Amino acid sequence: MAKTKKKTGKKRATRNSSKVGSVKAKKAFSNYRQAMAYLFEKTDYEKEERLRYNVTTFSLERMRKLLSLLGNPQTKISTVHIAGTKGKGSTATMLAKMLESNGYTVGLYTSPHLVHLHERIVVNSEMIGDSDMLGLLNRIYAPVEKLSKTDEPTFFEIMTALAFMHFADRNVDIAIIETGLGGRLDSTNVIEPQVVGITSLSIDHKLQLGETLDRIAMEKAGVLKKGIPAITVQQEPAAMTVLKEQALAVKAPLSVTGTDIDFSYRFETSREHGPHTRICLTTSTSKFEHLRVPLHGRHQAINCGLALALLDKLRSTGYEIDIDKAADGLHQVTLAGRMEMICDDPRIMIDGAHNAASVRALIHAIGQNIPYDSMVVIFGCNSDKDIVGMLTQLQYGADKVIFTRSSSLKAVSPQDLADMYTEICGKMYQTSSSLGEALQLAHSAVGREDLICITGSFYLIGQAKMRLQRNVALAAS
């Protein structure tokens, strides 16, 4: 297990200054564009519609071989591992910000990205730069090519290795690592973390992880390791049973917020902050009282409680955490793609809800926090999702739905979505062949007090954000 690091006011320089995985060889890429072209040529399972989920496709042995050729950068950093179905990115970001506000240098690895690939690798809220990415890809090229002769690393495996290398280069005090898909076979599951967090579990990635909650929980529980404490939130009984059984089987101490850890939350409205949620969490070592959750929704209060519990666990193992500084960091959290208002006239919100539970949470959070007369939802999703479950939840909040498709190869056709929606509820809808057309239809249907919500896929909301940024840039030129 990596050594616990106490906070210091100075940059630590006790490690070997040589960079992990560096080799004295001719550079493979002379510029950033060449390097990124090489990376994007690699097999990317995030984009494949039919994907076999097994130890060959998702090979931890292959990942370990790659990291070994790089000098095992993952062993040179302390980590927190976060798995789950929904809320991983929110929990990871809140925890990272609270640690950063306490003076730590914090790495954050998340996926997918919305607009720019570099969003996935962050140190102290700053995305990895082009020059750093170019340097890392030049260093990883030879090991990847060597391994590729027998077993080629995938896009996500290379990205994960790049994150470990960057965090080691930056000498981070701790890195918060989010799983990509599942847990048991996920490329990130090669670390020995200080603590493991498991967010809310629900049906998602049915083709890979299974169609029942207990099957999915079994895959997520694969991140549990002997002797490493784990914390989770209240789960459905089927999921909780599996998590507890697996924790016992591998001898991983498991705590649950709201059961083993005193946790509560309440919704309120104030003139200063508007509608928001406050939470309390108490342990034998920490007492967080009436902290304002920086993100909207009951689900974000639960995520915030998990982030606080993980912070407390780090505190109990030697990390110096000032509660007031943690609260200051928490209040600075903003998160792209989570109930993010990207336009004010008309009001356009994007949210990455991509399963039934997330859509239900989104609809509830909008109703509780965002005043509007009518809501038009632009919706598109991928074929490996619980489509019927998502559409069933959508009907409870959308006054009108416009079905479209994202740029993903796995995107479901708008007409197929519309046909399923008709069978479920028979409510009003339109279809569009592109996001641009969907936005035109939505614009013509809303007034000043209405809301346009784009959701169902990170690909779709990423497209929406890029489109808005492009329009703003053109208007400014």
Domain layout of the chain by residue ranges = 32-331, 340-476
For tokens 């169609």, name the residue.
211
Q: Are strands 79-83 and 174-178 parallel, antiparallel or unpaired?
A: parallel
DSSP code of 262? E
Contact 404, 378 (CB under 8 A): yes
Angle at 256 between CA 301 and CA 265, to 5 degrees: 25
**Short-list 75, 90, 121, 125, CA closest to 104:** 125
Q: Are strands 121-123 and 126-127 parallel, antiparallel or unpaired?
A: antiparallel
**Per the CATH hierarchy, to which homologous superfamily does domain 32-331 belong?**
Mur-like, catalytic domain (3.40.1190.10)
> What pLDDT is recorded for position 410?
84
**Per-residue pLDDT for the chain (477 aa), expressed as one digit of tens each?**
344 444 443 333 333 444 555 445 578 999 999 999 999 999 876 655 555 555 556 789 999 999 999 999 999 999 999 999 999 999 999 999 999 999 999 999 999 999 999 999 999 999 999 999 999 999 999 999 999 999 999 999 999 999 999 999 999 999 999 999 889 999 999 999 999 999 999 876 555 555 789 999 999 999 999 999 999 999 999 999 999 999 999 999 999 999 999 999 999 999 898 999 999 999 999 999 999 999 999 999 999 999 999 999 999 999 999 999 999 999 999 999 999 999 999 999 999 998 899 999 999 999 999 999 999 999 999 888 889 999 999 999 999 999 999 878 889 999 999 999 999 998 889 999 999 999 999 999 999 899 999 999 999 999 999 998 887 666 666
**Residues contacting 419, CB < 8 A, separation 6+:** none
**Per the CATH hierarchy, to which homologous superfamily does domain 340-476 belong?**
Mur ligase, C-terminal domain (3.90.190.20)
Distance CA 129, CA 169 (A): 13
Distance CA 252, CA 1 (A): 14
**Short-list 456, 461, 292, 316, CA closest to 381:** 456
Token pair belonging to 455? 């959701």
For tokens 């990635």, name the residue.
205
Contact 266, 278 (CB under 8 A): yes
Tell me the whole-structure pTM to 2 decimals: 0.90
> What pLDDT is recorded for position 15?
39
